[in-house]
Structure 1
Amino acid sequence: MMDNLQHLSKTTPPGGDSRVRLSGPSSEPLIQYGPDRSLASELQKASSFFTPPFWTENDDSRAFGNRSQTGGDERRPFLPPHDVGDRARSRGREDIPALASTIRRKPVSASFDSKVSQPASSINEVLAKETDTVESGKPLWRIWAFELLCILLSILLFIFVLYKFSNQDLPDWPFGATLNSFLALATTMSKASFMIPVSVAISQTQWAWISKKSRPLYDVHVIDQASRGTWGSLVLLWRFRFQHVAVLGSLLFAFSAFTSPVTQLAISYPMRDIAVTGEATAQVVREVRSPEDRLKMAGRQAVYQALFADHAGFMEPFPYSTVASGAVFCSTGNCTFDRYDSLGICMKTANISSHLRVQEFGRPGNFSFNDTLVLSTDGLLPDRKVWKVSLPGAHSMAHQSRLTAFTDMLTGNLTFGFRDDLILRARIASFAVMYTTPLIHDRTWWDSPKQREPSIQESMNNFEDFRHDATEIIFHLCVHTHETTVHKGVESTKVVESLTEPAQQGTGPFLDIDCWPMVRSFSANYRSMEDLSGALRYFLAGYMTTQALPEESKAFGFYGAGSEFTKALCEAVIFGYRSLENLDVLQRRLETLYQDIATGLSASIRTGRADDTFVRGTYNVTGEPRGMVPYVKITWAWFSLLAFEIAVATLFLAITMVRQTSDRDSGFRDVKDSSLATLVALSEECRAAAGGRLGPVDELKSASKGLKVQLKRRQIVLVDEYAEEKPR
């Protein structure tokens, strides 16, 4: 180098401008040596000669030796190494000739301008400012783009799991895969998606933590370990005690272990019925015609069903489906039907007591040929009162007992309670029931508590007087609207509505009922009506009475004429203990009994018997076969933990990003979890104080706890060291 300087000195004209261009194009700046600078002073400073960054080094240049002359400190690349002078002196002592330093190109003029020459620290600061400017210009969303995408992915996976399989059929996947395994996979992916940005954000917070004030070097280790797993997060929670924003991320790491087990509880597989392939039909009666239809058998079956299918003491009518089995076919055991109509039998009652004519005689006699004597086995008792009860133009009865009932069908068009009712045009039969009703004046015995229900004889001995009442019951054709379902093989059919609107009388059927919303009409011929009324009269007409003078020595009971229906009418309905005690109960039981008969008639003409049908004018309506299959039911409450974790992860990432907006010139905006940043950020003094080399982890931890460090000028330095290096 000194030879080069001597060469430059010799080629400079005396007293002239000592400017020589070393190399490079003519537009490059010149290095200025002032005229007052001596060669000796230049030789003294040769060891610390500064190489400007704008010098161009070519392949043949050997003027400044090897690569080490560009700077030995990585942090200060433009300063010469510390041992340059030492090496020069050692060469002199060893008499080793210096490397020939010549510029092997055509010399050009160069000037060394004092204005251009700057200290190395000044150039480093300029370069640092330029780097900061580049970094600060990088958008924040680009720095955190990957983490934002991870959060978005976790939200999409969460929504996908919620809405993809909720209330859906159980999927049939190959290899035995189940929805629980898929849910575990989706939950794990969702958890991993939001834990990635959480881990990165925790690592990013360590730089902000040590940049504001001095902190123990051990804190950097704690935050780094917290970003790696649950145990490190628990250590961070214990050390920082909710004094750092990284605690949010640590809490997520701690609770994430429970995410998969909890979300597995959210899914269950109940059963439900869906439409499947099969057959579902329900038989509907469109018309009744005799002699083709066997309506007498239908009437007989209906009466016995009314008596033996009762389950509530005639306080409530039995359901239609109780006696209407066999009209529905369902191949799958679970079927539904739309509402449909079918021809049926309806019933109405009316109190006609005001039409009764009651006569009382002091002794037997004055009976007409049409009077029906309702007597017990004792016959007509002399010297006893006789009551004669009749309906104008209809039936008449005579009796001596205080408990007597008589029922028969009204003939022709005779009616007392429905003279102006349109249902007369659809009437099948009308029945009149005449009976005695007790008058209770002293209710002491009736209101007293009883261990058992009293017998009819006890009840008869505890009322003083009675009166006569009558009820008319009319059976008529109507159209029933049905609702039918079959569940697990059990049919359930309800009559939800009844319609009686006869069409205008004309040629054709005796009765034609039009259902205007329907395409079909329902009809019956005259003989079918007669057959039904005859069957009903055969089973419903009769009378019943008790002894006129009950004696303890004789067996007390009912006597009369008629079928099982007449006996049930008197013993269970009219003269039962609860009916005698409360007349409202009597009326309710009376209506229920005849309603059960009408329901039985409707079911009989529609379904027939198990091996036979009574009516041929039927057709089928189709329903929807359904099958019981499992489906996916998601209980949303069990997903609240996962939703909470995603929300906290999003909040934690947002806080980390917002806090970075104030650190645009910090130099660590995009460092995140990079290990390289930690390696290059530690200063030499900090590394030396921490041990300077690898050693047992416990010793490293112990040493780091006693070191106070801070991020200054892009280096993690000891606080005391930085204080010594500050310029005065």
Structure 2
Amino acid sequence: FGSTGPKTEFHPSASLRVYAPFWKVWWKEILCIIASIASFIAIVIVLASYDNHNLPTWRFKITLNTFLAFFTTLAKGAFMLPVSLAFSQSKFTWFLKPNPLYDFYILDQASRGWLGSLKLLFRVRFKHTVTIGAILMIVSNLSSPVTQLAISYPLRNNTASEEEAKMFTIDEITLGHNYARKLAETASLKATLPDNGDYEVPAPPQKALCSTGNCDFGPYQSLGVCVKTANITSKLLTKPISNLTLDLFEDGNGGLIPGLKEWNVSLSGKYGMLHQSPLTVISGELEGADTFGYSNNTRLLKARLLFYFLIYTSPLSPSKTQNLPADSDAIDDVIDSITEFKYEAREVLFHICVQTFKTRVRAGLDETSISDTVSQIDDPSNGIVLGRKCTKEVCQPLEEPGDLVAQITPPNAGPRKFSASYATMWNMAMGISILLNGKAELRITPNETLNHFWFSSFPRAWYRDVTYSNKNVFNPPRREIHLNNFLLNIATSVSSDLRYTHGQDGRPGAVVIDGTPLKEVSYLHIIWGVDILHRRRVCCSSNLPYHRHCRTEHGISRNRTGKCLRPGGRKGFRFGNSCRPQQRLPRSLERWSAAGRYSSEDFEEITSHATTERT
């Protein structure tokens, strides 16, 4: 290696001697490249066939990750063999002209791993095709983790046919009279118990039966109870108090207290209240066919269950110099802060209707919305207005319902007919009205003690939780929202109990709507852009032997394109079109030229012609 003797003269060969064809010289490398390409194709085919599909279930518990790891490793190992051999080939072809012996070491290190390949790239600087192999050696270390990044396993909902998803609906109310009255009364009472944030939002409709916790339902319709509210404050009359009798003054039972100021307000002089507190509410049912806000809607009137009125005081906000009461303030502090108030009145109509719902269940939570409501009967001439006339002992329908039926046909109902008998509607109205009539008032007596009273559960709940909670006393918009949600909860509760009772008991008129049960499953998603690195690696490795295979003509290496490669010193080969003889190869090199490779016996003779150039 350190010889300083005279250089051996090379003389051009007399003729071009090529004995071995290309495929015989490189058959092992070709097989490896074919195996690498086949592995890559297998990976692409399998991933493409399962992309956006459920994960495969293979025999012997083989998973997709196992398959991918095996074939990625196979492709990597198969393509690295020709790259490594190409480096070994370069170690000999590099010394067709005397070059630094250090280059031999660099090429040898490049064939061993990515660190040596980095050294080769630094020395050659992308001026020779050997850099392709160096780049492939470096990239191969990134192929496996990058390939794994191309695969993700997101979740999605798939149909679970063996599970259950159903919703109860009704197109006819077939309960007995007493049962209908009891159901309406119980459902209304439940609605007065706030369980959803103090009436900030309305209570949800009936929940679906969904065994998986994830279900979808198409639009469906059901008969139920709806509510409308009309502002009738303009109908109120305020009259001076006159003709007070002794029986109006009672001790603690709702009567007037001597020494306190009295107020009197009414609707048309018929429905009103006499009170002594700035916080008072009264509710009652309208008699007969009386109505203040719906007199022009005959079809709606004949679908009614009952009308009732609400009259309540609305305290005016204190002046800016006065502090508003906080949530923690005592009720007497709240009353003391009230200096003025005004009256408000509402007419509330409960009626039968057909509602169109949209329901989806996600993670066990129902999301139901009402997309449409139809509340007018088909033929008003066949209906009646369910008014009432009452004596001290009993209340009777204004008109005898008999066998009359209220029928509602919404658009897109198909063959379904929605109806309810007026007799059943009357009994439902009686159940609801039991809770709606009453009065609530809070007063401070002359001896500075609190005196409050209420009749029935509805005024108590409305007074305490809706109208005069500390947050609502001086906030009319918020009070209006809570009031509407409170009334809507009553209608929703009655409708849900009707649907559930009919469906659970299998009564006539019950219709079960089947939904689509869903189950969360993992599926395969491929990011195809990530596999570009692997594709380019395979393509480059398949072309590398062609760049490394050069036939020898008069001591000059020629590649497959016909261009000559000349040794170019430290920085690589020079390319040219002329192939004039430069120097003769030793016999060992000529033997390699004939066989296509150097043999191990030729190494000593080759290195004897390598000179060490030092700067």
Bin of the TM-score, shorter chain as denominator length: 0.7 to 0.9
Partner residue, 2:147:
263
Amino acid at match of 1:588: I
Q: Distance in 2 between matches of 1:493 and 1:374?
A: 51
Q: Secondary structure at the match of 1:338?
A: strand
Quote the offset at 1:288 in angstroms.
1.2
Q: Secondary structure at the match of 2:239?
A: strand
What's the Cα RMSD here? 4.6
Change (3 A) 1:364 1:193: farther
* 1:442 correspondence with 2:319: yes
Partner residue, 1:516:
411
Quote the offset at 1:514 in angstroms.
0.9
Quote the offset at 1:274 in angstroms.
1.8
Indicate if the aligned counterparts of 2:502 and 2:509 stay in contact, CA closer than 8 A.
no
Indicate if the aligned counterparts of 1:429 and 1:475 stay in contact, CA closer than 8 A.
yes
* 1:165 correspondence with 2:50: yes
Amino acid at match of 1:627: K
Amino acid at match of 1:456: I
Amino acid at match of 2:331: I
Indicate if the aligned counterparts of 1:217 and 1:704 stay in contact, CA closer than 8 A.
no
Higher strand proportion (structure 1 or 2)? 2
Q: Which of the residues 495, 510, 513 maps onto 1:618?
A: 510
* 1:683 correspondence with 2:563: no
Partner residue, 1:567:
460
Q: Which of the residues 486, 490, 504 maps onto 1:597?
A: 490
Q: Distance in 1 between matches of 2:250 and 2:351?
A: 29
Amino acid at match of 1:358: T
Partner residue, 1:9:
none
Q: Distance in 1 between matches of 2:252 and 2:132?
A: 97
- Structure number with greater Rg is 1
Partner residue, 2:227:
347
Q: Distance in 2 between matches of 1:309 and 1:663?
A: 96
* 1:551 correspondence with 2:447: yes
Quote the offset at 1:172 in angstroms.
1.9
Q: Which segment drifts farther, 520-529 or 505-514?
A: 505-514
State how 1:641-656 maps to structure 2 within 5 Å.
642-647=531-536, 650=539
* 1:706 correspondence with 2:611: yes
Deviations 1:179-221 (A, max 9, x none): 211011232244356546655765676788667x653466467
* 1:536 correspondence with 2:432: yes
Change (3 A) 1:685 1:166: closer
Indicate if the aligned counterparts of 1:375 and 1:545 stay in contact, CA closer than 8 A.
no
Partner residue, 2:7:
none
Q: Distance in 1 between matches of 2:500 and 2:211?
A: 18
Quote the offset at 1:283 in angstroms.
1.5
Amino acid at match of 2:433: R
Q: Distance in 2 between matches of 1:429 and 1:654?
A: 89
Q: Distance in 1 between matches of 2:541 and 2:524?
A: 34
Partner residue, 1:14:
none
Quote the offset at 1:668 in angstroms.
4.6
Q: Secondary structure at the match of 2:341?
A: strand
Indicate if the aligned counterparts of 1:151 and 1:650 stay in contact, CA closer than 8 A.
no
Number of residue pairs matched by the alignment: 547
Deviations 1:293-347 (A, max 9, x none): 8322322232233222433122221222xxx24xx44455544322211112222
Runs of 4+ in 1 over 6 A off after TM superposition: 144-151, 203-208, 372-375, 652-666, 692-697, 699-702
Amino acid at match of 2:131: V
Indicate if the aligned counterparts of 2:40 and 2:72 stay in contact, CA closer than 8 A.
no
Q: Distance in 2 between matches of 1:198 and 1:171?
A: 35
Change (3 A) 1:146 1:541: same
Indicate if the aligned counterparts of 2:251 and 2:257 stay in contact, CA closer than 8 A.
no
Indicate if the aligned counterparts of 2:249 and 2:255 stay in contact, CA closer than 8 A.
no
Partner residue, 1:627:
519
Q: Distance in 2 between matches of 1:664 and 1:307?
A: 104
State how 1:11-30 maps to structure 2 within 5 Å.
none
Deviations 1:421-480 (A, max 9, x none): 4533322222210011223452433348x5x52232211111222222101122222222
Q: Taking every aligned residue pair, what percent have the same amino acid on both sides?
A: 29
Quote the offset at 1:277 in angstroms.
3.2
Q: Secondary structure at the match of 2:350?
A: strand
Partner residue, 1:233:
117
Amino acid at match of 1:274: N
Change (3 A) 1:214 1:602: farther
Q: Which of the residues 378, 395, 407 maps onto 2:271?
A: 395
Quote the offset at 1:378 in angstroms.
7.3
Quote the offset at 1:385 in angstroms.
4.0
State how 1:146-161 maps to structure 2 within 5 Å.
153=38, 156-161=41-46
Q: Distance in 1 between matches of 2:235 and 2:166?
A: 48
Q: Which of the residues 59, 64, 74 maps onto 1:179?
A: 64
Partner residue, 1:247:
131
Q: Distance in 1 between matches of 2:307 and 2:506?
A: 23
TM-score, length of structure 2 as denominator length: 0.74
Flag structure 2 segments of 5+ consecutive residues without an equivalent: 1-9, 383-402, 562-583, 591-597
Change (3 A) 1:440 1:657: same
Q: Secondary structure at the match of 2:428?
A: helix
Q: Secondary structure at the match of 2:328?
A: coil
Quote the offset at 1:258 in angstroms.
4.0
State how 1:110-509 maps to structure 2 within 5 Å.
128=16, 153=38, 156-192=41-77, 195=80, 198=83, 215-216=99-100, 219=103, 222-223=106-107, 226=110, 230=114, 233=117, 236-237=120-121, 239-240=123-124, 242-264=126-148, 267=151, 269=153, 271-278=155-162, 279-291=164-176, 294-320=179-205, 324-325=206-207, 328-330=208-210, 334-361=214-241, 365=244, 376-377=252-253, 379-382=255-258, 384-392=260-268, 394-421=270-297, 422-447=299-324, 450=326, 452-486=327-361, 490=364, 492-500=366-374, 501-505=376-380
Indicate if the aligned counterparts of 1:373 and 1:399 stay in contact, CA closer than 8 A.
no
Indicate if the aligned counterparts of 1:205 and 1:656 stay in contact, CA closer than 8 A.
no
TM-score, length of structure 1 as denominator length: 0.64
* 1:579 correspondence with 2:472: yes
Change (3 A) 1:685 1:523: closer
Q: Distance in 1 between matches of 2:256 and 2:506?
A: 45
Q: Tell which has more relative contact order, 1 or 2 (C-alpha 8 A, sep 6+).
A: 2
Indicate if the aligned counterparts of 1:510 and 1:524 stay in contact, CA closer than 8 A.
yes
Deviations 1:541-564 (A, max 9, x none): 110112263533x3x1421322x2
Amino acid at match of 1:431: Y
Amino acid at match of 1:495: S
Quote the offset at 1:241 in angstroms.
5.2
Amino acid at match of 1:253: M
Change (3 A) 1:459 1:378: same
Deviations 1:265-307 (A, max 9, x none): 5545555442233243322111114536832232223223322
Q: Distance in 2 between matches of 1:262 and 1:414?
A: 78
Partner residue, 1:5:
none
Change (3 A) 1:251 1:194: same
Flag structure 1 segments of 5+ consecutive residues without an equivalent: 1-74, 77-120, 672-680, 709-728
Deviations 1:650-699 (A, max 9, x none): 4676799799999999665369xxxxxxxxx9614879xxxx997999x9
